[in-house]
Structure 1
Amino acid sequence: MAGAFTGDRIILKDLGFYGYHGVFAEEATLGQRFFIDLELGVDLSEPAATDRLSTGISYSDIYDVVKAAFETQRMKLLEAVAGNIVEKLFETFQSVNWIVIRIRKPEAPIAMVRGEAGIELHRQRKTS
C-alpha cells in the first residue's frame, strides 16, 4: 500500500446536493442539504504536458457520476452514500487509483447550535 493517497489528484470541494438520506422518517420526507468534497488520485502528467482534456478526466464528468450515485437510492447512513459514490467513480474512471470522499450534513438532527456532522472515507482501488 506504499504510495496510497499521495501524488497527483483532482479535487472537487463543496459540491452541494439536496437529498433524502438519513435514519429518521423526517429526513426521508423533508430532505436536507449535503456537501461533498472529493480527492481522486490520478496521474496528471499527460494532461499537464499536452493541455488536452482528452488525456485527462473532465470535472463535469466526475460531477455527473457523483450526482447520479447520490440521487440513485435513499440510504440511511452517510457511510453507505459515500461508499456508493466511490464504487461508481472507480467503475467509471479506470485511471483513478484512490479516492478520499467527505460528506457533510449541516442540518443533522442533533442538538447543535452551529457546525455539521460528516464522515470521510479513504479508499484505494482493489487490484485483482
Structure 2
Amino acid sequence: MDLRAAGKTDNISDTVSYADIYRISKDVLEGQPQNLLESVAQLIASATLAKFPQISAVRVKVGKPHVAVHGPLDYLGVEIFRYRSTDVPN
C-alpha cells in the first residue's frame, strides 16, 4: 500500500494497524490446523487482502522453529508474495 500519507501525517487512519495484521495471523494460526506452511501463509495473505482493499500486495513469511531436520538451523519456513489480481506484475 502507498504509505506516503501516513509518513506525512503520522496518523494511524492513513495506514493499516499492525495489530489488525497480527489478529489475522493469530486467527489463522489458532484456527483450522494446516499440514503445510504454504497453506498457512496463503490463508494469511488471502485474509489480509480481503480485509484491507487499500493493500495491493502482501509478503508473508512463516517459520517453524522445531523441525525434523538434523543440523544447525534456527528454523525452516516459506515466504510468499501475493498481489491483487489487477496488480499482478508482468
Please indicate the TM-score interval, normalised by the length of the shorter structure: 0.7 to 0.9
Structure 1 residues 76 and 53, CA, compared in 2 at 3 Å: closer, same or farther?
A: same
1:60 aligns with 2:19: yes
Q: Which has the higher helix share?
A: 2
> Structure 1: which 5+ residue stretches go unaligned?
1-41
Given the alignment, which residue of 63, 68, 75 partners 1:104? 63
Give the direction of change, closer, same or farther, for the CA distance of 1:114–1:50 in structure 2 (3 Å limit): closer
Q: CA deviation at 1:112?
A: 2.5
Q: Which has the higher strand share?
A: 1
Cα-Cα RMSD: 1.3
| Greater length-normalized contact order (CA 8 Å, ≥ 6 residues apart) | 1
Residue identity (%): 31
Give me the TM-score of the superposition, normalised by structure 2: 0.85
What residue identity is the alignment partner of 1:83?
Q
Q: Which amino acid aligns with 2:67?
A: A
Report the TM-score when normalising by structure 1. 0.62
